[in-house]
Structure 1
Amino acid sequence: MNAAHVTAQMEPVRLALQGAVDRMQGGMMRAAYSSIAREGGDCAAALFLPDGRLVAQARSLPLLLGSLIPAVAGVLRRFPAAGMAQGEGYLMNDPWSGGTHLPDLIVVRPVLQQGVVIALAATCMHHQDVGGMAPGSIPPNATEIYQEGLRLPPLRWRTAAGPEDGVTAILEANSRTPANLRGDLAAQWSAVSLGARELGALAVRTGALFAPVCDALIAQAEQMTRAALRAAPDGEWTWEDQLDGDGIDAVPVRIAVRLRKQGDAIDIDFAGSSPQVRGPVNASPASVLSAALFFMRTLAPEAPNNAGCLAPLRLHLPPGSVVNPDLPAAVNARTATVKLACNAMLGAWSQAGAGVSVAPHAGVATVMSISGVRDDGQRWMLTEIIASGAGASALGPGRSGVSTDIGNARNTPVEVLETEAPLRVECYAIREGSGGGGLHCGGHGVRRVYRLLEGRAQVSYRGERHASQARGVQGGGPGASSAARMLRADGSVEVLGARARIDWHAGDRLVIETAGGGGWGEAPASAQSLSRNPADPANQGTNR
């Protein structure tokens, strides 16, 4: 085949693939029933080749996009592409088969031309509830995965005739929100069906060039990533961070990373991280791979967003550790671990003197699953993702009130919250003074205050940086810690730790204050008064 023809088609095909996955993403969000996907964007879409190589992914949530790679591999191990048929769909969420945590349901549909699988369309969405011991399926006091919800190995969920009723019935019977689950799965299926149609049409247009052009795009991403690595100095750098415990035992949970860069390859080794813990902060390998993919993408951001970006990487996750736990570890709160793993890689790389040095971000977006009953007995449920502060960099200050690094989730608008639940948001503000000081200050966290208007509710709270701070780099100061408390209607106050379950009664107010990012660089003496110290209560702003 003429190499010039392949080269000429690379950019048109890349744009067509990117357009397809972005339309999958947008359609899935518009069709979703649950606000965490519809408003928060906690979902992802991607396209794969029949051998499981990622060829395109939507511009959405990096936390999920990298994890689709092992999920699709898990589906292919159980259902080889050669045996797939038109109209089939596959479903899974098992962390030991390539999944992340149980609320993230993954749907895969093959794309066939003349009876042969030429690609796979895949989506992942965080579902409101898949069972388990707590509403929302993210119990902060879980000690094993069996308490977290329904665990699905890769299953054939649909045939050309439609969904397998037995699988769907089991899912709905185990969910506290079966209508939302059914609607969200339909949104995922619509998205992979859209992707299959668009990819099939692209394959018809390009004919025999389709497969070699996709191979060339993956090779291009690898070449661009390796070129970025060659331009950086060789060396070895380490970084450590620590979680605020596991929610069960009063033990430190350490995230340690060592980067070894030689030539056009890089090793990322998490040896030295804590053994797996009893609480739910353990992270499956699929989750940590997302953080590694995000890091690799920062090296060559202009490269096509596909499997080639990972080719120069050797990733080591010690078995039985908090970043690669053994069954039956609890994993529902893995986001905290994954985000600190991402911070650790960025922190280690900041010592390399290559590219733009960035201070650690706040650590994790605060996540709450809230389930309640109105005075008339009607049940309601929602999941909140609350942003924090980004780390400053050599280019300037960190952004305030954003979902950092692998997060990229959006906040749920106040109007939506107050429509779907008996809540009033009494304050939503930037938490001034929470960013670390320095030549460039870290981004500030946010303050959000909710009042329950009627009935009763239960909150599963997952925070981070309650007992630690995002460190500054190059002489910058640390960001402020997070805080959360329940102000009871009777005047009493209950302080929440980083992981908690708490009852909520009408008239009580829940106050959430998220952490700030680390500062970058030492502030000049003349600017010390402008470089806030978040450890000083006088500099915490008026919203504390």
Structure 2
Amino acid sequence: MNHEHLILMEPVRLALQGIADRMQSRMMRAAYSSIAREGGDCAAAVFLPDGRLLAQARSLPLLLGSLIPAVAGLLQRCPVEAMADGDAWLMNDPWSGGTHLPDLIVVRPVFGGGAVIALAAAILHHQDVGGVAAGSIPPDATEIYQEGLRIPPVRWRVAGAPDPHIEALLTANSRTPGNLLGDLNAQWSAVSLGAEETAALRARTGAAFEAVCEALLAQSERLTREALRAAPDGEWHWQDQLDGDGISDTPVRIAVALRKRGDTLHIDFTGSSPQTRGPVNASPSSMVSAILFFMRSLAPQAPNNAGCLAPASWVLPEGSVVNPRLPAAVNARTATLKLACNALLGAWSSGAAREPMAANAGVATVLSLGGARADGQRWLFTEIIASGAGASARGHGTSGVSTDVGNARNTPLEVIESEAPVRVHCYAIREGSGGAGRFCGGHGVRRVYELLEGHGSVSYRGERHVSRARGSEGGGDGAPSAARIERTDGRVDVLPARARVDWSAGDRLVIETAGGGAWGEAMPRQ
């Protein structure tokens, strides 16, 4: 690399990071649905024409990593040579690189000098894409066909104009068609901004652009390999389990082995449970999110691109909960990914990490409420509720926070109450739910909702109702989650980790998320 390219590396890195972050900000500002606008359940990134991740927004790892196989799946269907300026592709199919069906992905080619120089991508969790339950996250689904409209990569826009036939198909399958189109337009706005600014960056840097991009990928790989070389060689194992699959209470095992040699790392999920009948299965594209998060954590100072994946190889056994065969149900894959992250961090912490830490709660409760008001008007909203982080030798775990692949924000109570006939009676830290120890685990969250009118349905996707986040170095485990509906007639319906139930005006839904594990034995009182 010549001197000019070296000088350009840091300015180009910062420019690319800024482009991805501005794409994210524009998408959130323009989004119709509160889960994206307030909760930030969306992500944006820029790729090279061959599908390698070049820059990603500092947003939601759960979605960012999955954009890598999504772009690869698109390029298998449509090479860049067949793309035109102003085109955009749309997809959500888990067997073409997608995650679960509410996550619609939009990709737009970036042109410079008459050729594709990059790809701008955006993913957003949509309120509803059909299926048997409002919100398209039925916790009792047994096959993908019950979860909503499945879309392989299709050309959605040509010369900037949307295909009316595709939009008609989309809106015919959604309970919230206005939100769906509004959120799709937010994604289009984001990828258009990414295309405009990346093309301008290419014009400013000229022929050096491609060489500098390659150098940034190489730099990320080099720093990640250096971090691996600094750790001891070895093999470490970790195992965790889901509280059933939504259909059966039989625990679902998540097992991982890390084999580190020199500057390489092999990640093997062999030993994880076979694919389940219920919807906790995670597609391989989803699992890439957990792997990318973990590899990025080894060298966080490295450029935010796919170079960190070069030292890694992985095994996701086909037919297992981490690589299911069609037509597996997959809408509840978040819990699987979070426990996979806990397993990766736990295995690394047990033998390679300089500063071991206790397990995070491993819970991101996804709640979708929908129904009809007294006048028959339909309503729907989805939100994500955080839990507790694990403690470490540095201090207590953080309470009420989205950890590892999660980075979703709190949905303000005012927004919930303005969108639905629901009153939130309590939103508080769930004191005492973090594990006890020298440094305590972070506490979970407690929410209490009351339905004010009409009737509705609750799709609840939680975790850790039975299992607990493990403590470290003698620290205590975190408390499990709990959920229930308190009926107006005095009955209390206790909910399992995944449930779909009805409720009526006056009923209250109580959700309590799990706490993180503690670090070290509690110091005796003097």
Q: TM-score range by the shorter chain?
A: over 0.9
How many equivalent pairs are there?
526
Task: Please give the residue correspondences for 1:176-255 in structure 2 after superposition, counting only pairs within 5 Å.
Answer: 176-255=175-254
Cα offset, 1:149, TM superposition: 0.4
Q: Counterpart in 2 of 1:348?
A: 347
Counterparts of 2:370 and 2:387, CA distance in 1: 23
The CA deviation string for residues 335-383 of structure 1, in whole angstroms up to 9 with x for no partner, is 0000000000000011124233221111121111111111111110000
Residue 37 of structure 2: aligned partner: 38
Residues 388-443 of structure 1: CA deviation (Å, up to 9, x unaligned): 00111121111000111111101110010111111111111111110001111100
Partner Cα distance (2:478, 2:276) in 1 = 27
* Change beyond 3 A, Cα 1:16–1:488: same
Matches within 5 A, 1:54-93: 54-93=53-92
Q: Which residue of 2 aligns with 1:531?
A: none
When normalised by structure 1's length, the TM-score is: 0.96
Output the CA distance in 1 between the equivalents of 2:409 and 2:326: 32
Aligned position for 2:334? 335
Counterpart of 1:131 in structure 2 is 130
Alpha-carbon distance in 1 for matches of 2:226, 2:379: 52
Q: For 1:219 and 1:90, how far apart are their aligned partners in 2?
A: 29
Tell me the equivalent position of 2:7: 8
- Verify the 8 A CA contact 2:244 2:252 in the aligned structure 1: yes
Cα deviation digits, residues 485-537 of structure 1 (max 9, x gap): 0000111100000000111100011110000001111222238xxxxxxxxxx
1:143 aligned counterpart, secondary structure: coil
Separation in 2, partners of 1:196, 1:212: 19
- What does the per-residue CA deviation read over 1:282-340, in whole Å, with 9 as the maximum and x for residues that have no partner? 00011111011111111101011101011111011000000000000000000000000
Q: What is aligned with 1:280?
A: 279
CA separation in 1, counterparts of 2:157 and 2:383?
31
Deviation per residue, 1:14-42 (Å, 9 max, x gap): 01001101000000000000000000000
* 3-state SS of paired residue (1:90): strand
Paired AA for residue 87 in structure 1: G
Q: CA RMSD in A?
A: 0.9
Q: Does structure 2 retain, via aligned residues, the 8 Å contact 1:85–1:115?
A: no
Pairing 1:385–2:384 present? yes
| Residue equivalent to 2:47 | 48
Instruction: Give the letter for the 1:295 counterpart.
Output: F
Tell me if 1:460 matches 2:450.
no
In structure 2, the partner of 1:538 is: none
Inter-partner Cα distance in structure 2 for 1:3 and 1:291: 36
SS at match of 1:138: coil
Residue 305 (structure 2) aligns with: 306
Q: Percent identity?
A: 73
Cross-structure match for 1:535: none
SS of the residue 1:124 aligns to: strand
Q: Mark the runs of 5 or more structure 2 residues left unpaired by the alignment.
A: none
- The residue identity in structure 2 corresponding to 1:459 is V
Q: Which letter maps to 2:50?
A: D
Name 1:532's counterpart in structure 2: none
> Larger deviation: 179-188 or 363-372?
363-372
C-alpha distance in structure 1 between counterparts of 2:79 and 2:513, whole Å: 45
| Cα offset, 1:161, TM superposition | 5.2
Name the SS for the 1:69 alignment partner: helix
SS for the counterpart of 1:37 is helix
- Cα distance in 2 for partners of 1:266, 1:394 equals 25
Partner of 2:173 in structure 1?
174
Q: Which amino acid aligns with 2:283?
A: S
The equivalent of 1:113 in structure 2 is 112
Mapped contact 2:363–2:513 kept (Cα < 8 A): no
Q: 1:525 is paired with a residue of what secondary structure?
A: coil
Separation of aligned partners in 2, 1:112 and 1:356 = 46
Looking at structure 2, the residues matched to 444 and 468 of structure 1 have their Cα atoms a distance apart, in angstroms, of 16
Give the aligned partner of residue 524 of structure 1: 523
Alpha-carbon separation, structure 1, partners of 2:251 and 2:160: 52
How far apart, CA to CA, are the structure 1 residues paired with 2:423 and 2:451? 7
Residue in 2 that maps onto 1:498: 497
Compare 358-367 and 127-136 and name the one that shifted more: 358-367
